Structure 1
Amino acid sequence: MVSCAATNSLLTLSDMTSHKRIGILTSGGDCAGLNAAIRAVVHRAIDTYNWEPIGIFRATQGLMERPIGAVKLTIPLVDRLLVMGGTYLGTTNKGNPFAFPMENGELLDRSPEIIEGYHQLGLDAIVGIGGDGSLAILRKICQQGGMNFVAIPKTIDNDVGVTEHSIGFDTAVNIATEALDRLHFTAASHSRAMILEVMGRDAGHIAISAGIAGGADVILIPEIPYTIANLCERIRLRQLEGKNYSLIIVSEAVKTECGEIVQVDTNRYGGIGHYLATKIAAASGAETRVTTLGHTQRGGMPSPLDRLIASAFGVAAVDLIAEEKFDRMVAWQRREVISVPIEEAISQYCAVNPQSTLVKTARGLGIYLGD
């Protein structure tokens, strides 16, 4: 893969053609499927509309740089990206442009630099791929600077409002499910309670989906309370039934019984698996082990579903620009791509509904969820 630094170049008004020029950037955490979306935007822009797509490096940071961190995107360049994980354009989830940390410790509003970069490139519109936080920031900048903006949702947490699927979620679920599949055998061999901690900063979508698909005995998500006593009782009942092991999947955002979030540091969740292991061992005597998937859920080749959804989103986003329907986000509903106002999408946080079909399915399978 060509590095961002190697292809950095200043694209100015003198490079413009008589056709539309649209920018594309990826913002926030990386995930599988971003490159498939970039590829789709480029294909639709060139093949259908004869427009010029411009890739912007490192999210809004590329627009702050002088020379601007951007590159002309071509079909030969992006066609090799379909199966690649991560993002060719690079990304960042640090540094709010409205309060950007400088080397001297000062917080500076750098949104005017981003707006200036957009106009220097002569862009007619920009496609931003991100989660709810990134999209909220991008939308505010675009409104402030008179920039035409269309959004594509991505997040392994699948918590962006309105859309049933966000880019990256399916791949993350596949990875977590495969991990459970593998843990079954070592858990049974050693008569252990195996705990798998998965991502999900505030929502339990990965845990509930992978837990059902991977045959977990316990699924703990932040949306449903639990007690150590009831959890250990479920393990004890399995032992009485001759089931000498248990598989437990837990979302990183699950709190302790005291209502505390376990964190690696002030910015990162992590450690609830080890907390549970200590409590379970002390209360039930079960030998426990913990596996934390961490960033493996973000990496690797995107699943076929993520490639499909990312491709459909990319094509639809370019069509919205052609129709001059700005300040909108593409979304997946009932097997179709629709568009909704970005404000509507980011104002409706999508946590797991305790009355949802997946929760009812888990309970129907005898999986302990809490309560």
Structure 2
Amino acid sequence: MHIGVLTGGGDCPGLNAVIRAVTASLINDAGARVTGIERGFLGLIERKSRPLDLASVAGIVNLGGTILGTHNRADPFHYFGAGGADMSSQVIAYIRELGIDALVAIGGDGTMAIAHRIASLGVPVVGVPKTIDNDLMHTERSFGFDSAVAVVAEAIGRLETTASSHGRVMIVETMGRYAGWIALEAGLAGGADVILIPEIPYDVEAIAALCRKRETAPGYTIICVAEGARPAGGQLTVAALLADSPDPVRLGGVGHVLREKLQPQLTSEVRTTLLGHVQRGGSPTAFDRVLATRFGHYAAQRVARGEFGGMVALQAAQCTSVPLEMVAGKTRTVPLDHPLLDAARALGVSLGH
């Protein structure tokens, strides 16, 4: 048995733990040969791969990023390097040339969408869910999310000390795309006073009124805002449009827009911190290392059993599998009746209205 492994989309903590678990499990339990595809699907297009053995994955469980590299715009069905041409036939030919029997694709919704299309061309595929945004359908958790939440929560704590010292309003902008999971969990963990998520449009006047009230006591306000948050009746804040990307809309900058709206209405100085890719970097938390290891081992088990066409998922705290077509190109947002929203309101945290 010869298995290919790739990491697609954005990097995040925990990818190396999956690579390690998939590789070691397949070698030790199934006697398989494993090949790493470099830089995600780009490696299949540009014919770049290398063998993976036990030595090559030793000591990587605690490393951030991915030893295989990744790429978030390399869609074989619409390749940016060839004017948007369909390179899928060349990709399939390279897979056959390598003698790969099945592919383990580790990534987010875009990676799962591509993996599903490749599977439809006859390549057996198992998907593993990766995203700091925690927005993949039918899985309670994706690895990388816990690490990102830890980074944001720590940043909020650090910003609170300077906010209280200067009597400021501090806005912290998180990633998350169209889902508010990072902002919601990190905001609660960090003790934010206002949490703004895409699922609940916010009212600038209501936020300003809260900040004015807090100018007297305790004298400062912490606002955690997801990059996909928008004002009621308003639009998303778009940082860039990428015509050659599977995800052509790049969000970002809502924190600065909010600061410009709030500052004229407040006596306190308003500052914005855009955390950006700091949320993706560094070592994974212990939780993410364990989750990534569980996912990688379960993916290897499915490969060994010949069970393909699905993505590993966490449901009721147990590993299972869901069909790729149920995940591909879909987004799991925060339900409006989620218990964490109820908890936030009970704690007196404003959700922007």
Query: Counterpart in 1 of 2:10?
Result: 29
Structure 1 residue 352 and structure 2 residue 334: aligned?
Answer: yes
Match of 1:244 in 2: 219
Structure 2 residue 289 is the aligned partner of structure 1 residue 307: yes
Match of 1:273, as an amino acid? G
Check if 1:94 corresponds to 2:37. Answer: no
- Identical positions, percent: 44
Instruction: Note if contact 2:180-2:199 (Cα within 8 Å) is conserved in structure 1.
Output: yes
Structure 1: distance between partners of 2:190 and 2:322:
34
Deviations 1:37-73 (A, max 9, x none): 00000110011111111101011111122xx311111
Deviation per residue, 1:210-262 (Å, 9 max, x gap): 0000000000001012111111111122234x210000000011124552221
CA distances 1:272-301 after superposition (whole Å, capped 9, x unpaired): 111111111112232111111000000000
Structure 1 or 2, whichever has the larger Rg, is: 1
CA-to-aligned-CA distance 1:328-349 (integer Å, 9 cap, x gap): 1111122211111111233652
2:36 alignment counterpart: 55
Relative to structure 1, the CA distance from residue 102 to residue 49 in structure 2 (aligned partners, 3 Å threshold; closer, same or farther) is closer
**Alignment check: 8 A CA contact 1:280 1:286 kept:** no
Aligned length: 346
Q: Partners of 1:71 and 1:96 in 2: how far apart?
A: 20
Cα distance in structure 2, aligned partners of 1:302 and 1:198: 18
Residue in structure 1 matching 2:23, options 22, 36, 42: 42
Aligned-pair distance for 1:124?
Answer: 1.2
Structure 2: distance between partners of 1:143 and 1:268: 29
Are the structure 2 counterparts of residues 347 and 294 from structure 1 closer, same or farther at C-alpha, using a change threshold of 3 Å? closer
- Structure 1 segments of 4+ aligned residues over 3 angstroms from their partners: none
User: Which residue does the alignment assign to 2:318?
Assistant: 336
Gaps of 5+ in 1: 1-19
Amino acid in structure 2 at the alignment position of 1:361: A
Q: 1:274 aligns with which of 222, 232, 256?
A: 256
For residues 285 and 5 of structure 2, the distance between their equivalents in structure 1, rounded to whole angstroms, comes to 22
Matched AA of 1:60: F
3-state SS in 1 of match to 2:135: coil
Matched, 1:166 2:145: no
Alignment of 1:132-211 (within 5 A): 132-144=109-121, 146-211=122-187
* TM-score, normalization by structure 1: 0.91
Counterpart of 1:75 in 2: which secondary structure?
coil
8 Å CA contact 2:143, 2:291 repeated in 1: yes
Runs of 5+ unmatched residues, structure 2: 242-248
Whole-Å separation in 1 of the counterparts to 2:265 and 2:232: 14
1: CA distance between counterparts of 2:151 and 2:321?
29
Counterpart contact for 1:115–1:142, Cα < 8 Å: no
* Matched-pair contact (CA < 8 Å) for 1:256–1:262: no
- What SS is found at the alignment partner of 1:368? coil
TM-score (norm 2): 0.95
Give 2:62's aligned residue.
Answer: 83
Amino acid at match of 1:173: V
SS at the partner of 1:76? coil
Choose which of 223, 227, 239 in structure 1 pairs with 2:199: 223
Q: How much does 1:101 deviate?
A: 2.6
Find the aligned partners of 1:283 and 1:301 in 2 and give their Cα distance.
40
Amino acid at match of 2:325: E
Aligned alpha-carbon RMSD (Å): 1.3
Q: Secondary structure at the match of 1:138?
A: helix
Amino acid at match of 2:284: P
After TM superposition, the structure 1 = structure 2 runs for residues 355-366 of structure 1, keeping only pairs within 5 Å, are 355-366=337-348
Between the aligned partners of 1:348 and 1:55, the Cα distance in structure 2 is: 27
Q: Distance in 2 between matches of 1:107 and 1:300?
A: 33
**DSSP-derived class of the 1:79 partner:** coil
